[in-house]
């Protein structure tokens, strides 16, 4: 399919115009710079206690996509024709970044030191005691939010997307 999308800041066009697209124009290549901007926009998504548990892997080489296509039997066309596949992971050790994230917020003047201290003393033990299944749920909600925002930001940059849950998992 030949790409005809334009960049847009029209929110209505972005939300109503987004569709899960299965076949892409293989001539379209997203530059490194644009990809960074799109990911940066996506990561402005909210996350539980601002822990930003998402991690991305951008697969754009033909070899990488061939390998990936094997793991996505029902979604090969999207993997092979798109400019890039972005694998969204969650970091189940995200609590380890709590001090750093809150420290940065204090450093940048977004958060008073007392709030950081209070949050760390209350939230850190809570997170550390969460059963893995509960932490998994919290992190997966955040992954869904960042993924949605990623698709909308990509649409604003003139790119279609397709969320893909259909891939082989290691059980």
Interaction residues for ligand FMN, span 1-20 (CB under 6 A): 19-20
Check residue 50 for interaction with ligand FMN (CB under 6 A).
Answer: no
How is residue 34 written in tokens? 């644009």
For 14, 120, 155, 162, 167, the CA distances from 19, given in Å and listed in that order, are 10, 41, 9, 8, 20
Check residue 149 for interaction with ligand FMN (CB under 6 A).
Answer: no
Annotate 54-97 with DSSP letters as a single string.
EEEEEE-SHHHHHHHHTT-GGGHHHHHHSS-EEEEEE-TTGGGG
Q: Which is nearer to ligand FMN, 49 or 146 (CB)?
A: 146
> Looking at 3, 48, 52, 162, which residue binds ligand FMN (CB under 6 A)?
162
Q: Which is nearer to ligand FMN, 21 or 101 (CB)?
A: 21
Compute the distance between CA of residue 6 and CA of residue 13 in angstroms, rounded to an integer. 11
**Shortest Å distance, C-beta 150 to ligand FMN:** 12
Q: Which is nearer to ligand FMN, 49 or 72 (CB)?
A: 72
Q: Which residues pair with 87 in a beta bridge?
A: 57
Task: Say how many C-beta atoms besides its own lie within 10 A of residue 136's C-beta.
Answer: 13
For 4, 13, 101, 160, 163, the CA distances from 155, given in Å and listed in that order, are 12, 9, 29, 6, 13
List the x/- string, 18-37, binding to ligand FMN by CB under 6 A.
-xx-x---------------
Check residue 161 for interaction with ligand FMN (CB under 6 A).
Answer: no
**Given the rule CB under 6 A, which of 88-96, 100-108, 123-131, 163-171 is the region that contacts ligand FMN?**
163-171
Which H or E run contains 21?
none
Interaction residues for ligand FMN, span 54-113 (CB under 6 A): 75
Binding site for ligand FMN (CB under 6 A): 19-20, 22, 75, 162-166
């Amino acid at each position: 399919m030949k790409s005809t999308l334009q960049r847009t800041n029209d929110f209505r066009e972005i939300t109503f115009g987004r569709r899960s697209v299965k076949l892409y124009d293989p001539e379209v290549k997203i530059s490194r710079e644009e990809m960074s901007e799109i990911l940066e926009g996506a990561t402005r998504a909210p996350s539980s206690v601002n822990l930003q548990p998402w991690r991305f892997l951008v697969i754009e080489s033909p070899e990488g996509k061939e390998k990936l296509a094997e793991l996505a039997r029902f979604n090969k066309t999207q993997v092979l024709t798109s400019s890039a596949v972005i694998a969204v992971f969650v970091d189940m050790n995200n609590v380890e970044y709590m001090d750093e994230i809150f420290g940065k917020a204090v450093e940048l003047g977004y958060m008073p030191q007392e709030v950081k201290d209070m949050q760390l003393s209350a939230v850190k033990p809570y997170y550390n005691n969460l059963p893995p299944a509960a932490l998994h749920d919290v992190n997966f909600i955040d992954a869904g939010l960042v993924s949605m925002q990623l698709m909308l930001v990509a649409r604003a940059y003139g790119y279609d997307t397709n969320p893909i849950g259909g891939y082989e998992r290691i059980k």
